[in-house]
Structure 1
Amino acid sequence: MTTPAQIRHALLTNREIALIDLREEAEFALGHPLFAAQIPLRRLEIEAEWRLPRRDVPVVLYDDGDGLVEPAIATLRGLGYTNVQALDGGLAGWRDAGYELFEDVNSYSKAFGELVEHRRHTPSLPAEEVHALIREKADIAILDARRFDEYRTMSIPTGVSAPGAELVLAAKAVAPDPDTTIIVNCAGRTRSIIGAQSLINAGVPNPVFALRNGTIGWTLAGQGLDTGQTRQAPELPLEGADEARLRARNVAYRAGVKRIGLADLAELERDTSRTLYRYDVRQPAAFEAGHIPGFRNAQGGQLVQETDHNAPVRGARIVVADDLGPRADMTASWLAQMGWEVLVLDGGFDGPLETGSDGAPPPRGPEGRYKRPYEGTDNKAAAMQAYLDWEYGLVDQLARDGTHGFHVL
């Protein structure tokens, strides 16, 4: 058994630990420790080897009195995991110890986004004002920081798809005139805040704002969304990419991100005492066309948004790669601020490359899924407002929890 106090100590001292919630996602979203990752028991055999690459990493399992822990321990030990224990008292034990429970999914990434806005006062515009600017045909560019499939489902009128890590590259391509106002949106708040602050951190000369509360705020204001759009930010000419590269590298440097070459990477791979995640942060099509062997694909903005899913071992190392550089540097700058030991790989794309997918487990189906109040077009106004109210309270909850280790540039 591992006690809640021992989990907390591991988090405070940055020791590797994977705290795994074995319930379905909808139950997980009702309340869980800040750095817990969710793998339902029925998916454990499929996902464990992918998400927990080191067999002797400390893994602590819990449920809420559902009888899931013992079969999960047997499954992991059958897969060769040697350091698997139960959380003493399960979720109730965590609660009884007086520790915080966080709702929703990707909670600590969202809490971090709220902390960024709180500390940096990231500028934002309400939906009504942005709607008026569109109607007046003002000199604005709306960049949607979500995945392309989310953008295609529903988007702000005139918006262009520019997923998070692409923003520093996309800004110059979409808004070459520094007088053009750039407005970054997502479905809710986090990727809007992180996206807008990315451009500000990188010193983009344009006025930059987040769309306050994203498409949720837009919908609550009674304004219509487009569906089925396919607009994407064009690729930058090489000279523009060079400028973006310098801007992004400077941000990564300020965040304390380290840079390594292939020889250094090989040394990290030989270190069996630490968990190592390797992510190519480009878009899926670019990844599948050619990537460094051993790297997985996680779009940079999504790696920041869904860090608990992509790197459930808190305290692990993360290496990010990108053929141009800005995507990796901006992604790494945020991961470093979230308390990760993150390194950017310089080079590697001029050698032998692999093609195709990274072999990730098949995606989860609808079973047990948490209905997100910010996805799709059929969300109820009360659920959307409740979600926003929850996000507004995350900064105070982080302070009560006290384990996050975040810092904001």
Structure 2
Amino acid sequence: MSAIELQRLLSDGAELALLDVRDGGQFSAGHIFAAVSLPLNRMEWLVDALVPRRDTRMVLVDDCDAQDGMAAIAAGRLAAWGYSNLSLLGGGLSAWKAAGLQVFSGVYVPSKAFGEYVEHACATPCISAATLRDWMRSGKDMLLLDSRPYEEFHRYSLPGGIACPGAELVHRVFGLVDNDQTTIVVNCAGRTRGIIGAQALINAGIANPVVVVENGTAGWHLSGGTLVHARTEVAPPPTPRALHKAIAASQRIARRFGVSEIDAGQLAALRQRSGRNLYLLDVRTPEEYQAGHLPGSRSAPGGQLVQSTDDYVGVRNACLVLVDDNGVRARVTASWLLQMGCKDVHVLRDGLHSAGAALRRGWQGPRILGGEHLAQVDWLPVFELKAWLEQPGQALVVDLDDSLTYAAGHIPGAWFAVRSRLRQSLGRLPEHRLLVLASRDGQFAALAAADAQAASRVPVRVLRGGTQAWRTAGLPCATGFQHMADRNDDIWYSPYDHDDRSAAMTAYLQWEVDLLGQISKESGVDFNCAAAAQDNFLQPQENVR
């Protein structure tokens, strides 16, 4: 279809999966606002969760109009897996730009732009890193809460911070403060999760002053502050008294933003609707999810669901049902999704106890499609590979992990390649008699084996257990970007992944701020914050310092 036809589809209100099948780094360099990244590279892992129904209307995008382009290849694979309503954007992203339509850089653009919208629409109070430093020195009565997932918090955080990710803020905060004068300070790595977290507390009606740290840990670093590492402080679950307050606060939020609640019978009816995608999302912590969850639900911690919605939902205008144990996190998360413009969002009343069904323990991993050929994979044990590599010019290892993982550690002499461009990569390799594919645990490499064999003049084998097995055997690894058979534009690099971290942080923060102006020119953006007039959201308001 043409770019103009696609633009009409995006505004018709019906379900649509607009999927950009290029590699993640290419996607982040420029894409359509409403597009969801579904790299051809890892489509088998991602598509079943992102697009549950096989009859979903789908439009695939790459950057060209070739019959052997990524979108055409992706369409063939999707059709083989039962997807039946497929179209390609003719001319790809180039045609979209030629039609005078906008292209956005970065990742999670709708969520990031929404964070900027909220800050301006609600005038969310913020303080600079310098002010926070002064408060720390003066011993100000404050509570510093980090709204990122624990893994990020543990990696680096602000001095004195406590992990309280996303939707946990309203859920746990009433057990953390016993003085209404204590200032609650919220931060994240940059802007979005801090803004959303602080505003959630304000929307909940907490009596304490609430502020967000401007630009989060990035702003702290750029101001000369030192980040701390390996902190383990986590906000505890609420006491019964604190939970009572949190439930009441979430009910106030639900009334204010029109959050819908449904029962188990209504959920069953939604599941029976024809032609509609349904996402049953558990917004509790991953640990709680693993301890017991509703069958068919997917872990989507509330803060991350708002911060990176397109990691979980690949279909515009689909139905979302949020689940937790007491309604707090589900109501808060639903209120944000509604303000982002999602129309069909519901909270499952009584959550985990709604249907009386037995909960399922463990992790609900993705359903991997296209694995029929795995039985024919020729596996190569670690020490057999070691013997091959001791013979010069015999075996050559191609590592198909993402470029950051490859740089962090790979088998000595291994070449980096991107699966979606494997045919071109293999043409750049030195002569060899055996091609060995490797990845972290070997499974991704196994899925790529058929592609590699079709493009290779020599036999292809897959390292059993992957580079993890190589390490477990006590064998050495190399680091760095060596032996690059392809460009390292396969994934998006966060500011913390760059050598010049400060320059990357500065550019990233400016990109976030600039999104507000860019979305003002984009049709179909339906953000709606009840705290401010609709026509004022593009005029930055002075924040409280």
Pairwise TM-score range, normalised by the shorter structure = over 0.9
Q: Which has the higher contact order (CA 8 A, sep 6+)?
A: 1
Is 1:349 equivalent to 2:355 in the alignment? no
Structure 2 match to 1:372: 494
Deviations 1:152-198 (A, max 9, x none): 00000000000000000222122221110001100000001000000
User: Over the residues paired in the alignment, what is the CA RMSD in angstroms?
Assistant: 1.5
Structure 1 counterpart of 2:74, from 56, 72, 75 = 72
Say whether the 8 Å CA contact 2:327–2:350 is kept in structure 1: no
1:184 maps to a residue whose letter is V
TM-aligned CA deviation for residue 255 of structure 1: 1.6
Distance of 1:171 and 1:306 partners within structure 2: 23
Q: How high is the TM-score relative to the length of structure 1?
A: 0.96
Listed as ranges, the matches of 1:99-178 within 5 Å are 99-178=101-180
TM-aligned CA deviation for residue 379 of structure 1: 5.2
Say whether the 8 Å CA contact 1:45–1:75 is kept in structure 2: no
Say whether the 8 Å CA contact 2:129–2:219 is kept in structure 1: yes
1:371 maps to a residue whose letter is Y
Distance of 1:369 and 1:49 partners within structure 2: 21
Structure 2 counterpart of 1:334, from 336, 351, 357 = 336
2:317 maps to a residue whose letter is G
Distance of 1:57 and 1:101 partners within structure 2: 24
Distance of 1:376 and 1:133 partners within structure 2: 30
Larger deviation: 76-85 or 3-12?
3-12
CA distance 1:330–1:247, change in 2 (3 Å):
same
Structure 1 counterpart of 2:241, from 239, 242, 264 = 239
Structure 1 match to 2:437: none
Structure 1 match to 2:433: none
Say whether the 8 Å CA contact 2:327–2:351 is kept in structure 1: no
Distance of 2:204 and 2:310 partners within structure 1: 26
Q: How high is the TM-score relative to the length of structure 2?
A: 0.73
Q: Which runs of 5+ in 1 are unaligned?
A: none
Structure 2 counterpart of 1:395, from 509, 516, 519 = 516
Q: What secondary structure, in the 3-state scheme, does the structure 1 residue paired with 2:110 have?
A: helix
Larger deviation: 131-140 or 151-160?
131-140
1:23 maps to a residue whose letter is R
Distance of 1:23 and 1:41 partners within structure 2: 6
Structure 1 counterpart of 2:274, from 272, 278, 281 = 272
Rg (Cα) greater in structure: 2
Distance of 2:526 and 2:269 partners within structure 1: 27
TM-aligned CA deviation for residue 253 of structure 1: 2.4
Distance of 1:140 and 1:9 partners within structure 2: 50
Q: What secondary structure, in the 3-state scheme, does the structure 2 residue paired with 1:393 have?
A: helix
Distance of 2:498 and 2:175 partners within structure 1: 30
Structure 2 match to 1:257: 259
Structure 2 match to 1:18: 17
Q: Identity across aligned pairs (percent)?
A: 41
Report the number of matched residues: 406
Distance of 2:271 and 2:112 partners within structure 1: 30
TM-aligned CA deviation for residue 365 of structure 1: 4.8
TM-aligned CA deviation for residue 348 of structure 1: 4.3
Distance of 2:80 and 2:109 partners within structure 1: 31
CA distance 1:301–1:336, change in 2 (3 Å):
same
Distance of 1:179 and 1:91 partners within structure 2: 52
Structure 2 match to 1:39: 38
Structure 1 match to 2:503: 382
2:12 maps to a residue whose letter is T
CA distance 1:50–1:109, change in 2 (3 Å):
same
